Structure 1
C-alpha cells in the first residue's frame, strides 16, 4: 500500500509542477511578442503542459504571424492528434508566410502536406536551390506523403529542425 501511495504522491507532485510550468509559459506567450519558439522549447523541456498552454502558444503564433513557430507547433500537432489547436491554420501560415526552407520542411515532415500549394509557391519564388531540393524530394516521393509514408516504407524518419536563423 505504501508503494502505491508514494506513486500517487509522485504523480500529484508532477501534475502540480506541470500546472506551474504551464502558467509560466502561458504568461510568456501572452506578454512577449515573438516568443512562440521560446515557449515551445520550454514546453518540450517540461515534458508536457495544459491545454491552455498550447492554445496560448497558438494565439501568440497567429498574432505574430510567426511561420517558424507555426511549423514547430504544427509538427507537435501532427504527432499528438488530441492537442486543442488548429494544425491546418498553422500549416497555412507556414505555406503562405514562411520561406522556402520552411515549405520544404513541411513537404518532408507532414504526413499529408499541401503538395500542390507548396510546389506552386516554391516555383513562383524562382529560388533555384529550393526548386532543386523540392524536385529531388518529389522524384523519390511523387505523392509527397511526408515522413509517415517514409516510415511505413522502411525509410528513416528525418524531422528537419527549423531554427530562427534559417529564416531568410
Structure 2
C-alpha cells in the first residue's frame, strides 16, 4: 500500500509541475503578444521592449523578430546594441546579430562603439577602430587605445573574465546618462 501511495504522490507531483510549466508558458505567450504589440505600433520602443522581455524572463521567437524589425525600422543603435548582446549570449535567437552590430557601427556614437568593442565576444575591431578614429574624439580614442593595449585581439569582456581579469559590462541606455 505504501508503494501505491508513493506512486500516487509522484504522479500528482509531476502533474503539479506540468501545470506550473503550462502556466508559465501561457504567461510568456501573453507577455510576448503584448511586447510584439508595442514593437509593431510604437516608434523607438526597442529598449522598452527589450526591458519588458527581460522582466518577463523570455519570449517567443516572434517577439525577438518584432523587436529586431523595430530596431531596423527606427535605425536605433542603442536597441541594436542590446539585442546584439542578447544574441551573442543566446545563439539560437532568430535574429541577425551581424545586422545589428553593423547598425551600431554605422549609426552609433563612440560610447556605443566602445561598449561593442568591450562587450562582444568577437567584435569587429578594425571597423570600430576606424569609426572612432574618424571622429577625432580624443577621449574616445584614448579609451579605445587603452583597451586595445591590454586586449589587442579585442576578445571582449567574457574572454578577459575567463582569463582572470575583470571588466565591467556596462549596459547602454538611450539619452545622455553617464555610465
- TM-score of the superposed pair, with normalisation by structure 2: 0.91
Task: Work out which of the residue numbers 95, 102, 115 in structure 2 matches 1:105.
Answer: 115
Residue 138 (structure 1) aligned with residue 165 (structure 2): no
Give 3-state SS (helix, strand or coil) of 1:24's partner: helix
Residue 42 (structure 1) aligned with residue 49 (structure 2): no
Paired position in structure 2 for 1:4: 14
Paired position in structure 2 for 1:94: 104
Instruction: Give the 4+ runs in structure 1 shifted more than 4 A.
Output: none
> Are the aligned partners of 1:68 and 1:102 in contact in 2 as well (CA < 8 Å)?
yes
**Residue 156 of structure 1: CA displacement?**
2.7
Paired position in structure 1 for 2:4: none
What is the root-mean-square deviation of aligned Cα atoms in Å? 1.0
Q: Which runs of 5+ in 2 are unaligned?
A: 1-10
> Are the aligned partners of 1:101 and 1:166 in contact in 2 as well (CA < 8 Å)?
no
Residue 150 (structure 1) aligned with residue 160 (structure 2): yes
Give 3-state SS (helix, strand or coil) of 2:164's partner: coil
> Are the aligned partners of 1:122 and 1:131 in contact in 2 as well (CA < 8 Å)?
yes
Q: 1:157 to 1:10 in 2, by over 3 A?
A: farther
- TM-score of the superposed pair, with normalisation by structure 1: 0.97
**Residue 164 of structure 1: CA displacement?**
0.7
Q: Which runs of 5+ in 1 are unaligned?
A: none
How many pairs are equivalent?
167
Task: Work out which of the residue numbers 87, 90, 94 in structure 2 matches 1:77.
Answer: 87
- Report the structure number with the largest CA radius of gyration: 2
